[in-house]
């Protein structure tokens, strides 16, 4: 009864907020960039809630239970790169240049900056084809929590979640996304802080809890001490051995992949184009920084300390207690350690986390399909942009649900880091060139975009063991699961390999081709270097 009332109130409030957004959505500009007049508080919470989802709380909370406090370096990168550098050094220039070019989506921004239709539909295709993996793992994270804590069938939770989110995204556009994000982000913030306080109180305070985790140095995340030590594990409160497989997975995929990849996330970049001046971005930095710190620090610390709780109560590590599935660690801890009323409330916090990120993902996939692929190929603009975007959202939802049914266990954090790495490899080099390097050419941007995406895909299929082995393409063609078997290469994230290739390709080809016209560059960079006022 209590659960039904809480969920009903939550859904009614979200429905009302989505309705308000629908009433205020009158044009394509409203649907795609919220009329460029978003309040900094709403923008900051929307950015943070989109960035941090069940992937962070459930997925990376489970990763923290397996890797320990070393994952806290990701909190540092989330704030330094994901908030400060993103807002101050990327957001301001993106907002002004996007306004100069009249861009409404991230692919359109890149396309107009380099005067290339190919960049727009190729980038749109990368987003529409690749992002369903990210959307699917966010759905999985929420469904696993519902399955573990409320004993509701996983498949039912998956479908219901997707349908609810799709409804307000289809009708409300980015206004619906950002308004509900602000509400959902507030719920996430307080829910995670309460959980962090609760686990420290439960384990005897900050000092005693952290010391207890340190003392579990011989209780390793593998079947035997020898096996874990060989991979580089040195303790729950220390970093793994430098250069070991354990270290490479933690640092290259989880810390660097997400920490750097955030800069080129299309669903986050578009937020910069929804505010009316640089002042709004300045005001949003503090709000976003506090929000990101509270959610990520809280989730990662709770995940790590859950090992102490489970070892004291069951004699097992957190991952063992969750049946070996990293995605079930946080749900299992909450179900076992927290009172029922908190389980219900935290479910609402996780619903908020999942819905805020899913709404942004579905929206950006829909706009990629409608504006960046369809409109660019058929050269037709107007009302068809919103109509085709809504069709794209429906397709994206269906793909995400289907993938949610078939993805393996412990996939949430891996899927998130893979998507962040793919976008960094494909977009980051040309995005930096777009806003900072006036000498960058259309040919150079295309070379960087295509080479980054191609090398990333190649390494996913043939070099990165976590994806190459289950996909089996390398095994079928080369006779071995990865083309390079010597350590550390099978554990090196695709971004580490592909991003340098994209950077070199962008620079070299730009220098070898004719510079863009000065008049065009002046139009793109008009007012970009002036960060005061509008």
User: How much is the average pLDDT of 261-273?
Assistant: 86
Cα–Cα distance, 89 to 82 (Å, whole number): 11
N-to-C CA span, the chain: 51
The gap from C-alpha 260 to its chain's centroid, in whole angstroms, comes to 11
Top pLDDT among 276 and 403 is at 403
User: How much is the average pLDDT of 327-346?
Assistant: 86
The gap from C-alpha 195 to its chain's centroid, in whole angstroms, comes to 22
DSSP string, 405-421: HH--SS-HHHHHHHHHH
Can you say whether the dihedral through the CA atoms of 117, 120, 123, 128 is positive or negative? negative
Radius of gyration of the CA atoms of the chain, in A: 22
How many beta carbons lie within 10 A of that of residue 160, not counting itself? 13
Cα–Cα distance, 41 to 4 (Å, whole number): 30
CATH class of 1-24+32-425: mainly alpha
- What percent of the chain stands above pLDDT 70? 84
Could you give the 3-state DSSP secondary structure of residue 66? Answer: helix
> By mean pLDDT, which of 95-104, 123-132, 219-228 is the weakest?
219-228
The gap from C-alpha 500 to its chain's centroid, in whole angstroms, comes to 21
Cα–Cα distance, 152 to 138 (Å, whole number): 17
Residue-wise pLDDT for 65-93, tens only, equals: 999 999 999 999 999 998 999 988 999 89
Given this model, what pLDDT does residue 227 score? Answer: 46
> By mean pLDDT, which of 219-228, 321-330, 338-347, 496-505 is the weakest?
219-228
pTM, 2 dp: 0.86
How many beta carbons lie within 10 A of that of residue 389, not counting itself? 29
Cα–Cα distance, 202 to 447 (Å, whole number): 54
Cα–Cα distance, 407 to 300 (Å, whole number): 23
Residue-wise pLDDT for 341-385, tens only, equals: 888 777 777 777 777 677 778 878 988 888 888 888 877 655 556
11, 149, 306, 400 from 419: Cα distances, Å:
29, 28, 27, 14
Given this model, what pLDDT does residue 143 score? Answer: 83
> Residue 514: is it exposed, middle or buried by C-beta count within 10 angstroms (0-12/13-18/19+)?
exposed
Given this model, what pLDDT does residue 139 score? Answer: 85
Could you give the 3-state DSSP secondary structure of residue 100? Answer: helix
**pLDDT beyond 70 at 48:** yes
Which pLDDT band holds residue 229 (cuts at 50, 70, 90)? Answer: very low
Computed over every residue of the chain, the mean pLDDT equals 84
Given this model, what pLDDT does residue 224 score? Answer: 41
Cα–Cα distance, 103 to 106 (Å, whole number): 8
268 with 50: CB under 8 angstroms? yes
51, 83, 102, 231, 289 from 45: Cα distances, Å:
10, 12, 25, 39, 10
Q: Any idea where the domains of the chain sit in the sequence?
A: 1-24+32-425
Top pLDDT among 327 and 173 is at 327
User: How much is the average pLDDT of 259-284?
Assistant: 81
């Amino acid at each position: 009864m209590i659960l039904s009332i809480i969920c009903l109130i939550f859904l009614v409030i979200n429905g009302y907020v989505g309705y308000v957004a629908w009433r205020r959505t009158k044009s394509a500009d409203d649907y795609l960039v919220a009329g460029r007049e978003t309040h900094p508080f709403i923008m900051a919470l929307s950015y943070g809630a989109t960035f941090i989802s069940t992937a962070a709380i459930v997925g990376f909370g489970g990763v923290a239970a397996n890797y320990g406090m070393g994952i806290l370096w990701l909190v540092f990168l989330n704030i330094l790169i994901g908030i400060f550098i993103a807002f101050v050094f990327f957001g301001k220039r993106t907002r002004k240049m996007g306004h100069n070019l009249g861009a409404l989506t991230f692919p359109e921004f890149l396309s107009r900056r380099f005067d290339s239709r190919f960049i727009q539909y190729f980038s749109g295709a990368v987003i529409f084809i690749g992002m369903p993996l990210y959307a699917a793992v966010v759905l999985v994270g929420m469904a696993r929590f519902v399955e573990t804590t409320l004993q509701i069938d996983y498949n039912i939770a998956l479908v219901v979640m997707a349908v609810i989110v799709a409804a307000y995204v289809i009708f409300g556009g980015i206004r619906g996304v950002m308004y509900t994000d602000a509400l959902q982000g507030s719920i996430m913030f307080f829910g995670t802080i309460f959980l962090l306080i609760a686990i420290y109180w439960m384990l005897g305070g900050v000092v005693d809890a952290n010391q207890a985790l340190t003392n579990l140095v011989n209780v390793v995340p593998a079947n035997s001490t020898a096996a874990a030590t060989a991979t580089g594990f040195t303790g729950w409160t220390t970093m793994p051995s430098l250069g070991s497989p354990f270290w490479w997975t933690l640092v290259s995929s989880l810390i660097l992949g997400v920490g750097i990849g955030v800069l080129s996330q299309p669903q986050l970049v578009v937020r910069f184009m929804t505010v009316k001046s640089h002042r709004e971005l300045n005001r949003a930095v503090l709000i976003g920084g506090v929000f990101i710190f509270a959610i990520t620090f809280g989730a990662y610390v709770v995940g790590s300390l859950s090992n102490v709780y489970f070892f004291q109560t069951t004699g097992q590590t957190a991952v063992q207690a969750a049946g070996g599935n990293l995605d079930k660690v946080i749900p299992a801890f909450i179900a076992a350690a927290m009172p029922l009323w908190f389980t219900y409330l935290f479910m609402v916090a996780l619903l908020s986390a999942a819905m805020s990120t899913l709404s942004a993902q579905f929206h950006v996939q829909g706009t990629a399909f409608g504006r960046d692929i369809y409109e660019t190929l058929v050269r037709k603009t107007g009302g068809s942009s919103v109509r085709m975007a809504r069709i794209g959202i429906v397709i994206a939802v269906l793909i995400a649900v289907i993938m949610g049914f078939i993805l393996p266990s412990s996939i949430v954090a891996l899927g998130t880091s893979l998507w962040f790495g793919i976008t960094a490899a494909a977009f980051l080099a040309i995005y930096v060139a777009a806003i900072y390097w006036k000498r960058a050419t259309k040919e150079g941007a295309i070379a960087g975009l295509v080479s980054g995406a191609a090398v990333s895909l190649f390494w996913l299929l043939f070099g990165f063991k976590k994806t190459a082995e289950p996909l089996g393409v390398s095994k079928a063609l080369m006779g071995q699961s990865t083309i390079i078997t010597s350590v550390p290469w099978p554990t090196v994230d695709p971004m580490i390999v592909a991003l340098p290739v994209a950077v070199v390709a962008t620079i070299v080809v730009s220098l070898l081709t004719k510079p863009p016209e000065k008049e065009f560059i002046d139009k793109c960079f008009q007012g970009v270097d002036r960060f005061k006022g509008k």
